[in-house]
Amino acid sequence: MRTSFSRRLSLLTFVIIVTGVLLFARLASFQFQLDVAAYLQRIASSNYRTINDRFPERGRIYDRNGELLAANTTEYRIGISPVYISDKARLARELAEALGEDEAYILRLANSRAPYELVTRQPVSAEVAQKVARLNLLAVTIDPEPKRIYPHNSLAAHVIGFVGWEGNLRRGYVGVEGGYNDDLAGQSRITERSRIPFDPILGESPPPGRDIYLTIDRSIQHLAESELYDAINRYGAVGGTILIMNPRTGEVLAMASYPTFDPNVYFRASKETIRNPAISDTYEPGSVFKIVTAALALESGKVSEDSTYYEGSPFRVVGGRRVYNWDRAAHGSQSFVDILVRSWNLGTTWLAVDVLGPTEFYEGLRRFGVGQPTGIDLEGEAAGILRLPNDLYWSDSDLATNSFGQGLTVTPLQMLSFVNVIANGGQMMQPHVRLKTVDGEREYYAVPAAVRTPVSADVARRITDIMVQVVNVGEGKEARVPGYTIAGKTGTAQIYCATCPGLYDPELSMATFVGFLPADEPRVSILIKLDKVGRYASETAAPAFAQLVRRLVVLMNIPTDAQRAELRAQGGDTSLIVKR
């Protein structure tokens, strides 16, 4: 009995031990399953839900008439996590078919030991991303990427700018995209985002960026660009700029420069091409600058339209440097009006050296804003160069050469702003390209602002009358357009060349024409600049101006002189006639 009891006890002990081990194993297994489930949940959450800054949709850009110039879309980047791929061959085959990609390339990425591999070399469309999502491959990630699109490609590219990357953030560069980046970008917000494409985004979406309407008119911009390209080809220039403004408000209606770029593929363009020559590139303007010198002389009260001077020699020595007329001839007694109409360098030299003197001359230039940026609401504006009598490199000869636009530099926008002073009765308006900003239901309009008054309204009117003669009987005759009285001025400027004899290119020059119309009630002011041409501005920029104006007056519905005279005779107010 004692032996039998011992056997039973041993058996019971064994059963109890085995049962305990099984229970312990089951309990451990259960705990392990809980840990695995939690782990997998954490992995899922990290793969498909992330907490990060969510950036709002970027504000859109429109022209003054509501034509869309910059908009948004979404593309997607496809990536894989090789460590989580169980059937690499199948994944490579199916993903290659959905993406239209090389299967061997994807298989090579799938065999990588890296935690993540980007499959798409370029972002793909939503349609392609949906094909990938339908494969239901857990090791594949689909990340949305916002993209800025410009439906008109290179149209107004220098004005609009582009959106690129700054580290992990998108931001605007140059033009409106750069200058108004904060308004367009809006404010980011921390949200929970799904990595599954088309999955609802958790949390409240940040409000979109503000929309911006430009003063630019798409149709006028297209006209300016096409006419600029035509003029460059016709006259053999290497580049150029056309600016069209409303001199009464400072609004820029068109700003065209060549070479240009497509902001959709901005990364293909060079830094030089992306720069906006109209505001960033300076040049010696030449004889168009005589408008400023003549206005300052009249403003001083020391001369009038009837004043005369005498050219007894083909040149005059100032500060050890010879100054010539463009034709290198002397013309005897000449009037103040002849200085602009015939574009005499010796005439403006007389005004700057003998009539005004350095103090009054340079004070006047500063009133016009020479050597200072205009403050236009675009990124990258240059100030230009103006040496003053107290500066290290200024010489007495600068007083003479500055009077006819050599030895100082301006941007095309600055030069047209100086002309706008004359067109607008002596008052300079702030140049701007923003018409209004739209924030939800609220609209904030740009208010035209007067910057300064360099000359009186009387002087502006008298200079206008002389500029009309420049076009009617002077060097600007090729700029005439039947039915319209135009005030204008030509400028053929030498190009600085450090390796050339005399430091200026002996063959090529910068040809500029500036003008406004109708002369008595200016609706529009225009600058045309052609870079590195071998002929005078009177033969290049002036006829290009006329060709542009013939189309522009139709596009803007600017009435002829006769039509305005008829309306006045009927008691109408012609100053209210404006289409755009």
Residue 57: its pLDDT value, please?
87
**pLDDT one-digit tens code per residue, 251-301:** 999 999 999 999 999 999 999 999 999 999 999 999 999 999 999 999 999
pLDDT at residue 503 tops 90: no
Q: Give residue limits of the domains in the chain.
A: 49-74+142-214, 79-119, 218-576
User: What is the distance of C-alpha 561 from the center of its chain?
Assistant: 35
Q: Which CATH class is domain 218-576?
A: alpha beta
Tokens of residue 416, six digits: 């047209």
34 pLDDT exceeds 50?
Answer: no
More confident residue, 153 or 12: 153
Residue with tokens 């503000």: 210
| Count of CA atoms in the C-beta half-sphere (13 A) of 126 | 7
Q: Would you place residue 534 in the very low, low, confident or very high pLDDT band (cuts 50, 70, 90)?
A: very high
pLDDT tens sequence across 59-111: 999 999 999 999 998 889 899 999 888 889 999 999 999 999 999 999 999 99
More confident residue, 197 or 432: 432
Average pLDDT over residues 414-439: 98
Q: Does position 134 have pLDDT exceeding 50, yes or no?
A: yes
Residues 253 and 251: their CA atoms lie apart, in Å, by 6
What is the number of other CB atoms lying within 10 angstroms of the CB of residue 79? 16
Fold of the CATH domain 49-74+142-214? Penicillin-binding protein 2a (Domain 2) (3.90.1310)
* DSSP assignments along 86-105, one per residue: S-HHHHHHHHHHHHT--HHH
Lowest-confidence pick of 145-159, 180-194, 203-217: 180-194
The 3-class SS string of 299-347 reads HHCCCCCCCEEEECCCEEEECCEEEECCCCCCCEEEEHHHHHHCCCHHH
When the pLDDT of each residue in the chain is averaged and rounded to a whole number, the result is 88
Q: Which pLDDT score, from 0 to 100, does residue 126 have?
A: 87
The answer on pLDDT for 48 being more than 80 is no
pLDDT value of residue 139? 86
- Asked whether the predicted pLDDT for residue 23 surpasses 70, the reply is no
CB 524 within 8 A of CB 244: yes
Q: What is the largest CA-CA distance in the chain?
A: 154
**The whole model's pTM is what?**
0.84
- The band of 6, judged by pLDDT with boundaries at 50, 70 and 90, is low
The H or E element spanning position 172 is strand 169-173
Instruction: Give residue 25's pLDDT.
Output: 54
Q: How many CB atoms within 10 Å of residue 198? A: 12
Q: Is pLDDT at 512 greater than 50 in this prediction? A: yes
Kindly give, in sequence order, each residue whose CB lies less than 8 Å from that of residue 549, ignoring residues fewer than 6 positions away. Answer: 479, 481, 484, 486, 517, 526
| pLDDT value for 24 | 58
Please report the pLDDT score of residue 39 as a whole number. Answer: 44
